[in-house]
Amino acid sequence: MTDRTEMPVAEESLPGERQTPPAAPVKERAPKMRSGKTMNTVTKTVIYAILALYALVIIFPFLIVIITSFKTWQDAVSSEFSWVPPMGFTLEGYQEVFTYKASSDSTLPSLVNGFINTLLYVLPPTILGLLTSSISAYAFSKLRFRSKKWMYSLLLGTMMIPGTIMIVPQYVIYDSIGWINTPLPLMIPGMFGAAACVFFMRQFYSGIPDSLIEASKLDGLGYFGIFFRIMVPLAVPALLAQGLLGFIGGYNDYLGPLLYLHEDRLHTLQVALNNIADTYERRSNVVMAASIVALVPMLTVYFFTQRYFISGIVSSGLKD
């Protein structure tokens, strides 16, 4: 008998039966995954390198200011900059800063007096302005009243008006009511809030569910009860962020105090810095030391509030 090799016979499919396509050969995915990880690593490395370079560009001038503040005035005014001064580091600039007085009848150094005046002028309008802005934002976001959209649009429209064109009319008004050479022009207007703060706080309050407000009404809370017991505790990060921005704006304000405050005893920190820069024009170490002293309080405040500051800005910007 002749041996016959048995050949595999393909199974015949019945009519109407769905045929299963043959399985595709498994391809190697490891090389593609490795190449993807390599590209991701390269991209992150490039991004971090760019960010590090950008940070260096920002930090480099700041390092020059710090080193110059610890130099003697001879090394500070030298045409060649050196990271290690030939005459060594000294506190000469800082000693001059904390002993300089703009007038002989001053009891405190000008920089210390300016710092105290700045706190007295900035803290009350920052706190009260934040309160009035938050109440306005609560009304625009959760209350229903006639012409709400029109009033809110008008409020935002005031943000488009440059502040410089209002300087002369404001000065004339303040002079007519006897506010010149007093801190009132720097304090009273800010106590009524700011349009930018109302805008950001409204964005935050809009993200709070209306059902929470309705439940509070059923519990017997009024409008102010809902605001102080519900809205304010939930908006602490946003309030801290806006309060910090308002305080920084007032702390760095130079034009307002320069226009309205004429006596040395009323000068703020920024005006005192300008006086020191004019007096010690040829001594760069003193000017740099004064700048560092004025900067330290802001850096300290930001160091302890940066978490709330960042979260407040992000959450305010993402709410509808």
**208 and 247, same domain (yes or no):** yes
- Residue 5 binned pLDDT confidence (cut-offs 50, 70, 90): very low
**155 and 283, same domain (yes or no):** yes
- Quick one: pLDDT at residue 162? 86
Give the total number of structural domains in the chain: 2
- Quick one: pLDDT at residue 198? 93
Q: What is the pTM of this model?
A: 0.78
Q: Is the pLDDT of residue 225 over 70?
A: yes
CA gap 217, 82 in Å, rounded: 68
Instruction: Say if 310 falls within a structural domain.
Output: yes
Counted residue by residue, the chain has a size of: 320
**172 and 65, same domain (yes or no):** no
Q: Is the pLDDT of residue 210 over 80?
A: yes
- Quick one: pLDDT at residue 36? 66
Please say whether the beta carbons of 305 and 240 come within 8 A.
yes
**58 and 150, same domain (yes or no):** no
State pLDDT tens for residues 148-187. Answer: 889 999 998 988 888 888 899 999 999 999 999 999 999 9
State pLDDT tens for residues 84-104. Answer: 888 888 898 899 899 988 877
CA gap 249, 247 in Å, rounded: 5
Question: Which of residues 69, 91, 113 is at a domain's end?
Answer: 69
- Quick one: pLDDT at residue 315? 56
**50 and 180, same domain (yes or no):** no
**65 and 107, same domain (yes or no):** no
Average pLDDT over every residue of 255-266: 91
Q: Is the pLDDT of residue 39 over 80?
A: no
- Quick one: pLDDT at residue 320? 44
Please say whether the beta carbons of 273 and 280 come within 8 A.
no
Residue 154, φ and ψ in degrees, nearest 5: -65, -40
Average pLDDT over every residue of 303-318: 65
Tell me the CATH number at 301: 1.10.3720.10
**129 and 251, same domain (yes or no):** yes
Closest to 190 in 3D by CA, of 146, 286, 256: 256
**154 and 299, same domain (yes or no):** yes
The residue ranking higher by pLDDT, 103 or 256, is: 256
Domain that holds residue 44: 34-69
Instruction: Say if 90 falls within a structural domain.
Output: no
**110 and 221, same domain (yes or no):** yes
State pLDDT tens for residues 117-151. Answer: 999 999 999 999 999 999 999 999 988 888 888 99
Closest to 121 in 3D by CA, of 221, 249, 5, 306: 249
